[in-house]
Structure 1
Amino acid sequence: MTIVKKTSLLLLCAMLLILAAACGNNKNDKKELATVKFSEVIHSIFYAPHYVAMSQGFFKDQGLNVDMNTAQGSDKGAAALIAGTADISLVGPETSIYIYNQKGDKTLKVFHQLTSRDGSFLLSREKLGNFKWSDLQGKTIIGWRPGSAPQMVLNSTLLKEKVSDVKVVTNIAAPAMAGAFTSGQGDFIQLFEPVASTLVKEGKAYFVASLGEAFGPFPETSYVATSDFIKKNPEIIQKFSNAVAQGAKWLSNASNDEITKALKPFFEGTPEDLIIQSVERYKSQGTWSTNPELTKEQFETLQKVLIENGVLKADAKVTNMDDIVDMSFVKNIGKSE
Structure 2
Amino acid sequence: MKPVLLLLAALLLVMTAACGQNSGKGKDALTTVKFSEVIRSIFYAPHYVAMSQGFFEKQGLNVDMNTAQGSDKGAAALIAGTADISLVGPETTIYIYNQKGEKTLKAFHQLTAKDGSFLLSREKLDAFAWSDLAGKTVIGWRPGSSPQMVLNSVLLKEKVEGVNVVTNIASTAMAGAFTSGQGDYIQVFEPVASTLVKEGKAYLVASLGDFGDYPETSYVATSDYIKAHPDIIQKFTAAVAEGAKWLNTATDDDIVKALKPFFDGTPDDLILQSVNRYKAQGTWPTEPVLTQAQFDILQNVLVENGVLKAEDKVTNMDDVVDMSFVQKLGKTD
Q: TM-score range by the shorter chain?
A: over 0.9
Q: 1:232 aligns with which of 228, 232, 235?
A: 228
1:316 aligns with 2:312: yes
Q: Counterpart of 2:140?
A: 143
1:221 to partner: Cα distance: 0.1
For the residues of structure 2 that align with 1:19 and 1:143, how far apart are their CA atoms? 60
1:264 aligns with 2:260: yes
User: TM-score scaled to structure 2, two decimals?
Assistant: 0.95
1:248 aligns with 2:244: yes
Question: What are structure 2's unaligned runs of at least 5 residues?
Answer: none
Q: Which moved more, 1:306-315 or 1:153-162?
A: 153-162
For the residues of structure 2 that align with 1:294 and 1:170, how far apart are their CA atoms? 28
Aligned partner of 1:297: which letter? A
For the residues of structure 1 that align with 2:256 and 2:59, how far apart are their CA atoms? 23
Q: Counterpart of 2:41?
A: 44
Q: Counterpart of 1:72?
A: 69
- 3-state SS, counterpart of residue 25 of structure 2: helix
For the residues of structure 2 that align with 1:129 and 1:60, how far apart are their CA atoms? 49
Q: Counterpart of 1:170?
A: 167
Q: Counterpart of 1:9?
A: none
1:297-308 map, 5 Å: 297-308=293-304
For the residues of structure 1 that align with 2:24 and 2:49, how far apart are their CA atoms? 25
How many correspondences in the alignment? 327
For the residues of structure 2 that align with 1:267 and 1:44, how far apart are their CA atoms? 8
1:17 to partner: Cα distance: 7.8
1:182 aligns with 2:179: yes
Q: Counterpart of 2:290?
A: 294
Write out per-residue CA displacement over residues 208-258 of structure 1, whole angstroms, 9 at most, x where no aligned residue: 000001x11100000000000000000000000000000000001111001
Kindly report the root-mean-square deviation, in angstroms, between the aligned alpha carbons of the 2 structures.
Answer: 1.7
Q: Which moved more, 1:70-79 or 1:19-28?
A: 19-28
Question: What are structure 1's unaligned runs of at least 5 residues?
Answer: 1-5, 7-11
For the residues of structure 2 that align with 1:261 and 1:114, how far apart are their CA atoms? 21
For the residues of structure 1 that align with 2:15 and 2:125, how far apart are their CA atoms? 66
- 3-state SS, counterpart of residue 189 of structure 1: strand
1:21-40 map, 5 Å: 21-30=17-26, 31-40=28-37
1:15 to partner: Cα distance: 9.9
User: TM-score scaled to structure 1, two decimals?
Assistant: 0.94
